A = this chain, B = another copy of it.
Amino acid sequence: MSASVVAPARSSQLLQKCPTGIAGFDAISRGGLPMGRTTLVAGHAGAGKTLFALEFVLNGAAKLDEPGVFASFEETPADLLANLGGLAFDAPALIEANRLRLVHVEIDPDDLVEAGEYDLEGLFLQLHVAMDEIGARRLALDAVENLFAGFSDSRRLRRAFRNLLGWFRGRNITTIVTTEHGVQTLTRHGLEEYVADCVVSLDQRVEGDIATRRLRIVKYRGSAHDVDEFPFMLDHGGVSVLPTTSASMHHAVSDELVSTGIPDLDAMLPGGIYRGGGLPAW
């Protein structure tokens, strides 16, 4: 057990934001995902987790001068390229220009556990090589459940997940990790969301035959954000979040795709503050 008491210091290290370039999302998140930290994107099958993570990486690589790595446990690069065919990105060109890497990770469970503990070094090495080749600033790790499936010791699992996130933070890379819903929990093991710095939930509900996709920022350490559920859609333009709250609509109108700083949030604080909906929450 180790503890570190902070030495007095005045260096104000404010949390920076990393814009996703996903229409509408940067408005409700007040500028994007936490820079250099890990965001968990959770949802059921077909919720759009992979596309959300892909677009985050592709936007960085194509438009925001932030090369990125997309690592998948489920799909091969060829599969991903085929899936991306309908989108407006020229992924092969980005790969050729050393701005994008698609990595397919295959897990051998016997390699993961050593002496009762998770050994993630093999995974880290693979990611490091890909990240290093292109000077990656963004990373997506799709279907992380493959890493932790069948692991029942909740304390060690929590530690392994924290180690994973710590490795990302040590490299100062902005990361999305996608994860599956559990039966009654936001994530499979019901604890990943407590460890992560930011959590986005994607949902697709059917009411009276009509399916509606909804996105919600569940948690965002160190930042104000909208707390409501927002409808979103997936089409050939990628993910589009509809910031339905009036306060946010001004942001939705302007294109936030190339903004890098945090928008002045004070100006958009509406008058009524008793209802949590549509307000900048911490």
Contact = CB atoms under 8 A, between A and B. Distances in A.
A92 interface: yes
Interface in A227-282: 227-231, 233-236, 238, 240, 242, 244, 262, 265-266, 269, 273-282
Given A15-B85, A74-B195, A211-B227, 9 more contacts: A4-B104, A5-B77, A9-B95, A79-B221, A86-B282, A204-B227, A209-B244, A210-B276, A213-B227
21 contacts: A5-B130, A6-B77, A8-B96, A12-B92, A13-B78, A13-B81, A13-B82, A15-B83, A45-B193, A74-B194, A79-B197, A107-B159, A109-B156, A204-B276, A209-B228, A211-B216, A211-B228, A212-B275, A212-B276, A235-B279, A235-B281
A198 to B, nearest CB: 9
A230 B101 CA distance: 39
A77 to B, nearest CB: 4
A5 B281 contact: no
Interface in A17-75: 44-46, 48, 50-51, 71, 74-75
B213 A276 contact: yes
Contacts of A159: 107, 109
For chain A, the bracket of interface size reads 35 or more
A205 to B, nearest CB: 9
A81 B243 CA distance: 30
A133 B5 CA distance: 10
A4 B76 contact: yes
Contact of A46 (B12, B93, B218): B218
Contact of A2 (B3, B85, B106, B218): B106
